[in-house]
Amino acid sequence: MRITGNTLTRRGFGAILAAGLLATGLTACANSDTGDNAGGTAGDDKIVLGFSQVGAESGWRTANTTSVKEAATEAGIELKFDDAQQKQENQIRAIRNFIQQKVDVIAFSPVVESGWDTVLKEAKDAQIPVILTDRAVDSADKTLYKTFLGSDFVKEGRLSAEWLIEETKSATGPVNIVELQGTTGSAPANDRKKGFAEAIAANPNLKIIASQSGDFTRAGGKAVMEQFLKANPKIDVLFAHNDDMGLGALEAITAAGKVPGKDIKIITIDAVKDGMQALADGKFNFIAECSPLLGPQLMDLAKKVHAGEEVPARIETEETTFTQQTAKEALPTRKY
């Protein structure tokens, strides 16, 4: 919300409102431009957060959306939520709308890494702080956003590879790997691919024989796995950039008469409930966790940047990995 000195004087409530602002830690003074925000009336100090979500492509995404919505309510932040349906143009439009509505803070999870400079510059010119959640952008100008909150995707790829290296250490012949990549151009797809490839590079037995995008969806994972199976008679391992694509691939593998988890070892990333169930059931072999529960930290950051406080440039989520055994133990108390 924004209140100028003029507004206060004009309304004749200067002293009262000023006292109110002091009591709320002066957060309302952090903005320098004028005019009421879209959400509140003058005197209402609720922070308005515009959030542009990627879409609803996976179990991870659904859990992430729930986390953001619940945390906003909990924190007393007014959330303007927009679902971009996996399209960058929709996200750019949503961000421009937020700017026009003069929200206090903008947060978004960029569907792809490139192509954000112009719209981020517009937000900066409007003096609206931007927080990147979950996925990064490749903008050279780091002043276009305040902070990034999310996971180390390169590490997730590397941990996946390290499990495989250990698992296949006694293999004598080549181990054929197929890879289901996430959304083309997205940070998690780029980084998970990189982390995995770098880690297996020193091991000549481990070969990626096919790699294609399944767009992080079950349908995509199934369709691409069907093609992989048709084109490659010997597939030993599937590395899927998320659980959902792995779950879709399960159907293709079973339909091809192979046993998932045995004939073809499956490694995925996320550790959402359905993925963890598949792991506990012996259909998956390993999952590197990626937490979608970013809501509470995001709200905390929104309050801080709104108040003009310094925040770290990058905040990483703590994560673990799961085997079939540890998945069985973790499942009963799993939150997402």
Instruction: Give contact residues for ligand GYE (rule: CB under 6 A).
Output: 57-58, 60-61, 134-135, 188, 216, 242, 244, 269-270, 290
C-beta separation of 132 from 156 below 8 A: no
Give the burial class of 59: count Cβ atoms within 10 A of its Cβ; 0-12 exposed, 13-18 middle, 19 or more buried: buried
**Rounded distance between C-alpha atoms, residue 114 and residue 137, angstroms:** 6
Looking at the DSSP bridge assignments, the partners of residue 10 are none
Concatenate the DSSP letters of all residues of 59-97 into one string: HHHHHHHHHHHHHHHHHTPEEEEEE-TT-HHHHHHHHHH
Q: How far is the CB of 274 from ligand GYE (least distance, A)?
A: 11
The greatest distance separating any two alpha carbons of the chain, rounded to the nearest whole angstrom, comes to 84
**Closer by beta carbon to ligand GYE, 238 or else 290:** 290
Count CB neighbours of 329 within 10 A: 11
C-beta separation of 124 from 139 below 8 A: no
**Closer by beta carbon to ligand GYE, 7 or else 277:** 277
* CA 207 to the chain's CA centroid: 28
Size (the chain), residues: 336
Q: How far is the CB of 188 from ligand GYE (least distance, A)?
A: 4
**Closer by beta carbon to ligand GYE, 65 or else 176:** 65
C-beta separation of 258 from 249 below 8 A: no
**Closer by beta carbon to ligand GYE, 134 or else 179:** 134
**Rounded distance between C-alpha atoms, residue 3 and residue 26, angstroms:** 11
Q: How far is the CB of 86 from ligand GYE (least distance, A)?
A: 9
Which residues lie closer than 8 Å to 288 by C-beta, 6 or more apart?
A: 156, 157, 159, 160, 267, 268, 269, 271, 319, 321
**Rounded distance between C-alpha atoms, residue 71 and residue 51, angstroms:** 13
Q: How far is the CB of 258 from ligand GYE (least distance, A)?
A: 24
Q: How far is the CB of 244 from ligand GYE (least distance, A)?
A: 6
Q: How far is the CB of 29 from ligand GYE (least distance, A)?
A: 35
C-beta separation of 177 from 135 below 8 A: no
**Closer by beta carbon to ligand GYE, 39 or else 195:** 195
**Closer by beta carbon to ligand GYE, 128 or else 294:** 294
**Closer by beta carbon to ligand GYE, 45 or else 215:** 215
Q: How far is the CB of 1 from ligand GYE (least distance, A)?
A: 31
